[in-house]
Structure 1
Amino acid sequence: MGKVEADKTEVAPAHAAAPGELAVLPGEDPWTDEEVAEARAELLSEVERLEAEITSSEAAVAGLMRDSADGAGDEADTGTKNITREYELALAANTRDTLTQAQHALQRLDQGTYGLCEVCGKPIGKARMQAFPRATLCLDDKQKQERR
């Protein structure tokens, strides 16, 4: 398994939307330069942390694969190693999904679609985006998704 690469551009591209152009709910203040910079920094930090977690998880799985290949140990040891390996693989898959979401949020920030629901196109809400920067759905569509 190779290292996951991510776009680590820390400067907003020339085509990025101005902070005041990002979606907000009626009654919310527009995004400020500082708030956008904070959201970007948080997402970039999350990308770096997740990449490190994936690298660590891949190393753990490689070690478990090596250990299980040596054939040493009894059946209980082998079973424990298999369970641990499956856990590490599931953890790595979940971390990769979260990494993809963080990278997608950065792209949406650059494209000016950050804060717009990907289902209905309505604003998600600035407060929600600040609390959960990877959000892609408004509360109504998120609730509909969870009911399925």
Structure 2
Amino acid sequence: MAGRRIGVAMDFSEGSKAALKWAIDGLLKKEDTLIVIHVKHRQALESRNLIWVDTGSPLIPFAELHNAGVMHGYGVEIDPEVLGLLDTIANQLQVTVLGKIYWGDAREKVCEAVGAHELDALIMGSRGLSSIQRVLMGSVTSYVLEHAACPVTVVKAKNHH
């Protein structure tokens, strides 16, 4: 039986790192596929990446996530802590790790990734916006909880108030 397809929304914040750690500790199993979803603001889109503006980057294999040159080409600097966690997932848990980069509105693009990759579950962190901030700025987490076509687990960082 093939493993599950699990997504983790990653913006390199403490909340998204906590979500990745939670997935490692309690969810991911051998033969699962983890898709790390990162959304950049559309303004960060460089001309060399215009081909992927609508669909996002191709799926990026684990080995290329470690390659600073490849990731720089996408305009992404991967956090060393996140790379260490991904190493753990790939090597110790024997999970297939892939990256996917989108440009645009994080709310819409995360939901798009859920459908495009037929995810069985999505794990994401919470930034901990106050009620007023959520009303004024909108919450990616709230939007994804309402619109994603799979179960969503929200993980709060330990230092979250």
TM-score range for the pair, normalised by the shorter chain length:
under 0.3
Structure 1 length normalisation: TM-score? 0.19
Whichever structure has more strand as a proportion of its residues is 2
Whichever structure has more helix as a proportion of its residues is 1
Highest CA radius of gyration, 1 or 2? 1
Structure 2 length normalisation: TM-score? 0.18
